[in-house]
Amino acid sequence: MMLSYFIAIGFGLLAIGVAGVAASRHFIIMMLAIEIALSAGIVVAAAGFAFSSGNGNIIGLLFTIWAIASAEIMGMVAIYRYMVAHGISMDVRELSKQRD
Amino acid sequence: MLAILVLGVSVIVAVVAALSVFRAKEMSHAMVGFLFVSVSTAALLALLGLPLLALLQLFIMVGGVSTYLFVGVSSENLSRFRHTSFPVLFILAICLAVVPVYKVLAAGTASPVTGALGSATIAAGISGNLALFYMLGVLLFGIGIASIVMMRSFRKGGRK
C-alpha cells in the first residue's frame, strides 16, 4: 500500500510540473517546472526500486536524472545571462519575435 | 505511525511548494519553493529506506542546483508580467494527475510481478499504466510539432 502512496505522490508532482510548463510563459518558471517533473521522476524511480526487493541498480538512473537536472540549470543560467545582456524579455511569447 | 506523519507532512510541503513556484511574483520566492520541493523529495527518499540517496539529493539539488540558481538568477527580481495562468495550471494538473493516480491506487500494488521491461520486477499497477504515459508522450510530441508549425505561420504573418 505504501508503494501506491509514493507512486501517487510522484504522479502528482509530475502532473504539476507538466501543467506548469503548459500554463506558464516565464522562461525561468518553465525551467523550474521541468525541475519539479524531474524530482517526481526521482521519487517514482526510488519507490519502484525500494519495493522491488533491491533488484537492479538505482544509483545509475538517479545520477542520470541529477546530471540532466544540473545541466539544465547551468544551461538555463547561461541563456538567462544572454537574455539579460541583450535586453530580451523573459516572456516566451516575445522570443518568437526576436528573429524579426 | 511516525512514518505516516512524516509522509503526510512531506507530501503537503511538496505540493504546496510546487504550486507556490507558479504563484510567486518574485523570482527568488519561486526558487525557495523549488528548494522546498527538493527537501521534501529527500525526506521521501529517506522514508523509503534510502538514506544515502536522500543525502545525495540534498547535496546535489539543494546544495548545488538551488544555490547555483540563486546566484545565477538573483538579478531577476519582480516578474513584469503575469507569468502563469493559475486556473489553467490547476485544472490541467488535476486532469493529468487524477487518471494515473486513480489507476495506481485502485490497482492494489502490493505484489510485484514481472512486467514488460524484461527481467525487472515492477508492480502490476505501474505496468498496466504505461500506456497512459505513452499517450501523454505522443500528445506532448504533437503539441511540440504544432507549436513549431504555428510559430512559422506567425512569423510569415508578421513579415507581411
pLDDT digits (tens, 9 = 90+) for B110-145: 444 444 444 444 454 455 556 666 677 778 788 878
Work out the percent of chain B whose per-residue pLDDT is above 70.
Answer: 71
- Which 3 state secondary structure label does DSSP give B103? helix
Helix (H) or strand (E) holding B42: helix B27-47
Question: What residue spans of A51-90 are helical by DSSP H?
Answer: 58-85
Burial B141-150 (b: 16+ CB within 10 A, else e): eeeeeeeeee
Evaluate whether B127 touches B116 at the Cβ level (below 8 Å): yes
Interface of B with A in 111-130 (CB under 8 A): 112, 119-123, 125-126
Compute CA B156 distance to the chain's CA centroid, rounded to the nearest angstrom.
35
Compute CA A23 distance to the chain's CA centroid, rounded to the nearest angstrom.
15
What is the reported pTM?
0.77
Stretches in chain A below the pLDDT threshold 70: 1, 53-56, 96-100
Q: Which chain B residues contact residue A45 at CB under 8 A? A: none
Domains by residue range for chain A, with CATH: 2-99 (1.10.287.3510)
Evaluate whether A22 touches A6 at the Cβ level (below 8 Å): no
Of A19, A47, A49, the CB nearest to B92: A19
The answer to whether the complex's ipTM is over 0.95 is no
Helix axes A2-23, A27-50, angle to 10 degrees: 160
What's the pLDDT score for residue B126?
Answer: 52
